[in-house]
Amino acid sequence: MQLKMSKSSDKMTAFEGQDLQTQALREKAMLFCVAIAIPSLILILWEMTTRMGWVDELFLPSLSGIVNEFFAMTRKGYAGTPLLSHVLGSLRRVFTAFTVGTLVGLLLGLLMGYYKYVRAAFYVVTELLRPIPPLAFITLFILWFGIGEVSKVLIILYAGALIVMLNTMAGVQSCPKDKILAAQTLGANDLAIFLYVILPAALPSIFTGMRVALSVDFGILVAAELLAGDLGIGYIIQDASTFFNVEGLFVGILMIGFFGVMSDFLLRIIASRVVHWQG
Amino acid sequence: MSKSPIHPVSSLDRQSELENSPAQLISLDRVSFGYSHKRLVLQDLDLEIKQGEFLTLLGPSGCGKSTILNLIAGFYKPLLGRVTHGGEDIKGPSARRGVVFQSNALFDWMTVEQNVGFGFRFQAVSKHERKKRVETIIALVGLRGNERKYPYQLSGGMRQRVAVARSMVVQPEILLMDEPFAAVDVQTREGLQEELLKLHEQVSGAILFVTHSIEEAVFLSDRIVILDRNLGGIAHDIKIHLPEPRYTAMNRVSDAFNQYRTDLYLKMKAIE
Ligand SMILES: Nc1ncnc2c1ncn2[C@@H]1O[C@H](COP(=O)(O)OP(=O)(O)OP(=O)(O)O)[C@@H](O)[C@H]1O
Ligand SMILES: [Mg+2]
């Protein structure tokens, strides 16, 4: 009797489980449709407004115009330089600065999080620098390091490193005390505790910092390229707006958005692989 | 010492064994302690724990039970008096004294297997031996099949089992447990208590246990110490005689058990 009852209730829950699963799938599909539908609608509206001549092409070019401009650029290049060179130039700046900046920020952040005295030593400087927008330093950097690659890469590097450093430090300090004590009572020395406990506990914060840093880096990149030089997506944006080439301007903006999204996506995948234990 | 489950050995054997064993493992000698200099938490406290003994601390909230554990673990040093392990002053945390935290303090980034084997990284134990001992203890706490899981994939009771296994597998001379089962449901808790007794039988160390549950204390302990409030020190020190093996269901409902429970209940009430 008892057995029978429990059996049938088992079946019920298994059945219900399947039902829940299809329901969850259906919901996922719906959400996906909504997520795709709204942007599509915006694009259609955009194309319509421009086709019907509701707004001047000078303020909002047609989608097809932008696409044409993009393909024209891929064929003829921009300002005498192949489009690919502009793109690679920008990406090289960002990724050099991001990589080095992350390493520097990580190192400083770990030291500051772990050693009170290092934290004290850097405290005033970081608290002073933190509220200053990195762009405020850009002309200073140009003055110090010239108008070429170095100052561009350095300003991006600085902005990213500061963010990674602060997040890494916070991550190290957020490591639960009882986990450190548990490791100690299992015989771990300071180095082992750092490697096996504090560092993994800080990884989620570190990756958050890296993602924020990367998006900030793209912003600084464009600003730095707007200001000086004749290569890069920021240069295209700047140059196109000087000549009222609104289609070209949009191509530049959309390319920055595209690469920003793609690189964040990549970083998110890496993060979810590394920080896989959060469910 | 035979512990056949068919012919339960009288607990008198275990008690007299503890009685006759002169070996003091841990000793608190006129210990005074406060987290700040303004207020003492412990004053002139004497407490001894013998090798292999299962000792439980009971007492009102804030009377200093966790503090005593912290001192023995080596997380803090006494202001006055001495806390010794095998006659030597305790200078800091050591693998000779294991700790199970109420929060379980598992390493979320390690699998069950890696968590349990963590302590072996710092011991000269062969890989083969290591693997064998980890496997054995995982089976003992009923977690076979979960070796490759991460803590977030486990229930609260399972996590606490991992924490106990992790501390016990390296065979500390004493295991300090601060309300380790407080956060799990009653059924799981009883299972955990029985497993703990079985583990205690296999792994020879002493256990210092803290709980608010009188039933838990009686069921588990060789000896129970009730602490007074307001620096009162030790109010009662009671030996528990129950038939071996201790982990039988009978030992939760027997007259002897109920007598201890009533007695302790009244003693606790008198303090509060
Ligand atoms: N880290 C700490 N810093 C300062 N004071 C503390 C600290 N931990 C405990 N205390 C104080 O010391 C006293 C004893 O605390 P303790 O945690 O040892 O009590 P307890 O017996 O374990 O209580 P409970 O049963 O509630 O866990 C309390 O008054 C508490 O407020
Ligand atoms: Mg406590």
A182 and A146 in a single domain? The answer is yes
Residue B70 touches partner A, C-beta closer than 8 Å:
no
Model confidence at B12, pLDDT cuts 50, 70, 90, reads low
Domain that holds residue B32: 11-96+172-271
User: Is residue A237 included in any domain, yes or no?
Assistant: yes
A30 and A131 in a single domain? The answer is no
User: Is residue B253 included in any domain, yes or no?
Assistant: yes
Tell me which residue in A181, A201, A276 faces B99 most closely, judged by beta carbons. A181
A146 and A114 in a single domain? The answer is yes
The neighbour count for residue A250, using CB atoms within 10 Å, is 20
Q: Is the previous residue joined to B245 through a cis bond, with omega within 30 degrees of 0?
A: yes
Closest-CA residue of A relative to B96 is: A185
Q: In whole angstroms, what is the distance from residue A10 CA to residue B98 CA?
A: 41
Domain that holds residue A39: 1-55
pLDDT digits over A236-271, tens only? 999 999 999 999 999 999 999 999 999 999 999 999
Give B75's contacts in chain A (Cβ within 8 Å): 181
User: Is residue B163 included in any domain, yes or no?
Assistant: no
Average pLDDT, chain A: 91
Q: Is the pLDDT of residue B4 over 70?
A: no
A145 and A182 in a single domain? The answer is yes
Q: How large is the average pLDDT for residues B15-25?
A: 74
Put simply, the answer to whether B107 touches A188 (Cβ < 8 Å) is: no
User: Is residue B104 included in any domain, yes or no?
Assistant: no
pLDDT digits over B193-244, tens only? 998 999 898 887 999 999 999 999 999 999 999 999 888 789 999 999 998 8
pLDDT digits over A55-82, tens only? 887 788 888 899 999 999 999 999 999 9
Model confidence at A122, pLDDT cuts 50, 70, 90, reads very high
Residues 200-219 (B) with a CB less than 8 A from some CB of A? none
Closest CA to A77 of A248, A258, A267: A248
Q: pTM score, two decimals?
A: 0.84
Residue having the nearest C-alpha atom to atom 10 of ligand 1: B35
Q: What pLDDT is attached to residue A5?
A: 45
Domain count, chain B: 1
Model confidence at A14, pLDDT cuts 50, 70, 90, reads low
Q: Which of ligand 1's atoms lies nearest the C-alpha of B69?
A: 18
Pairing type for strands B234-239 and B42-50 reads: unpaired
Residues 151-190 (B) with a CB less than 8 A from some CB of A? 151-153, 166-167, 170, 172
Average pLDDT, chain B: 90
Burial of residue B124 (number of CB atoms within 10 Å: 0-12, 13-18, 19+): exposed
A157 and A234 in a single domain? The answer is yes
User: Is residue B225 included in any domain, yes or no?
Assistant: yes
A152 and A37 in a single domain? The answer is no
A48 and A88 in a single domain? The answer is no
Domain count, chain A: 2
Residue with tokens 């070996």, as numbered in its chain: B23
Q: In whole angstroms, what is the distance from residue A222 CA to residue A215 CA?
A: 11
Looking at residue B73, which CATH number applies to its domain?
Answer: 3.40.50.300
Q: What pLDDT is attached to residue B13?
A: 67
**Which of A33, A55, A77 is at the close of a domain?**
A55
Put simply, the answer to whether A279 touches B152 (Cβ < 8 Å) is: yes
pLDDT higher at B249 or A15: B249
**CA B64 – ligand 2 centroid, Å:** 7
User: Is residue B153 included in any domain, yes or no?
Assistant: no
Ligand 1 pocket, Cβ-based, cut-off 6 angstroms: B 35, 41, 59, 61-67
Q: What pLDDT is attached to residue B271?
A: 86
Q: How large is the average pLDDT for residues A9-31?
A: 75
Model confidence at B7, pLDDT cuts 50, 70, 90, reads very low
User: Is residue B133 included in any domain, yes or no?
Assistant: no
